[in-house]
Amino acid sequence: MRFAFYPGCLVLQRMPEYEASTRAVLRELGIELEIVQQATCCGSPIVESFTPDWVYLAAYNLALVERMGHDVVVTVCGGCTNTLTRAALALQDPEARAEANRRLEPLGLTVAGQVQVRHVVRLLAEREEELRARVVRPPLPPRRRPPLSPPLAGGQEGGRLRVAITNPCQAFRPGDVMGFDDPLEPQSLRRLVELTGAEVVDYGGEDECCGATLYLANRQLSLAAGRRKLEAVREADLLLHSCGNCQLLLRRFQRLIVADGIHPRDEPDLRKPALFLPQLVGLALGLPEEELGLREGTWR
């Protein structure tokens, strides 16, 4: 089976490990991905904040997928998933579709808006049983847990890897458009993590946005949202998400969160490794760490 793949700006440029691990896991399920060539930004919220014409930018990307002959495009960020799905819906309106096609014509493209957009969480959740059957070993907990980490709720040290998840907001909402899982309290990411054998830590912020998009408007508030999350997940061995924006804020900007003067020296260190869902799933499937973009020492 072959699907189109739309990584989005952020993952394309900065997170090849997310693409590599997504491909590696899907390959195990017999799915090959073909990247969309000459793709642009999906359009939201950046372009949408300036013009209602954002939908034509999204339509262009959907038109590229149609030209490839694919009827499914796989996404890995919540934002691109949401934007492309809303655009496909908007293109069901004949007038909007006609206008999109007028703009696409000089480029030799047409759009019907029939492409299905599938975030990697949804794609994997729809193959949950097949994945479960392929799990060969649960991902191991860190060799040494930080000395200040609180004792395990369940009792004994060691045991299972403890994971704090952040659901990719926009892959589930708006619910009437995305049509997948519970839009306010989605369960599919949790179930996928649990099937690897890891333990999902309840910290109350699973459905709270990481705050990455807020960074464009107010850095301080955005980092505060990230800090709120890091403070809540002290019991966890690592963070896990399935969106480039979450990784950007919660992992890449972790040093800003911690070094922002809002982190007193006498507190326990808030820093944590962070994995993308396919990296954890890949480990459970027995795929080599290098193939998943996991270097020894950086996450364990």
Partner 1 sequence: MKHPEACIQCGTCVTVCPVEMVGGHAIVTFLADPEASDYSVWLCSSCWRCQEACPTGVNIYELMMEERRCQAAPGGYQDAFEKVLACGLALEVVQEELDQNRAAWGLEPVELPSPDLARVLLRLER
Residues lying near partner 1 in the complex (CB under 8 A) are found at: 9-10, 12-14, 16-17, 19-20, 23, 34-35, 37-41, 44-54, 56-57, 59-60, 79, 82, 103-104, 106-107, 169-170, 173-175, 183-184, 207-219, 221-222, 224-225, 228, 293
Distance of closest approach, residue 106 Cβ to partner 1, in angstroms: 7
Compare residues 35 and 140 and give the one whose CB is closer to partner 1.
Answer: 35
Q: Cβ neighbours of residue 152 under 8 Å, at least 6 residues apart?
A: 159, 162, 235
Q: Which residues pair with 238 in a beta bridge?
A: 163
Distance of closest approach, residue 175 Cβ to partner 1, in angstroms: 6
Compare residues 194 and 207 and give the one whose CB is closer to partner 1.
Answer: 207
Radius of gyration of the chain (CA): 20
DSSP secondary structure string for all residues of 225-247: HHHHHHHHTTT-SEEEES-HHHH
Distance of closest approach, residue 152 Cβ to partner 1, in angstroms: 28
Compare residues 12 and 270 and give the one whose CB is closer to partner 1.
Answer: 12
Distance of closest approach, residue 94 Cβ to partner 1, in angstroms: 19
Distance of closest approach, residue 61 Cβ to partner 1, in angstroms: 9
Closest CA to 226 of 241, 9, 43, 235: 241
Q: Cβ neighbours of residue 53 under 8 Å, at least 6 residues apart?
A: 47
Compare residues 194 and 208 and give the one whose CB is closer to partner 1.
Answer: 208
Compare residues 161 and 243 and give the one whose CB is closer to partner 1.
Answer: 243
| H-helix or E-strand spanning residue 13 | helix 8-14
Question: How many Å apart are CA 120 and CA 183, to the nearest integer?
Answer: 16
| H-helix or E-strand spanning residue 5 | strand 2-6
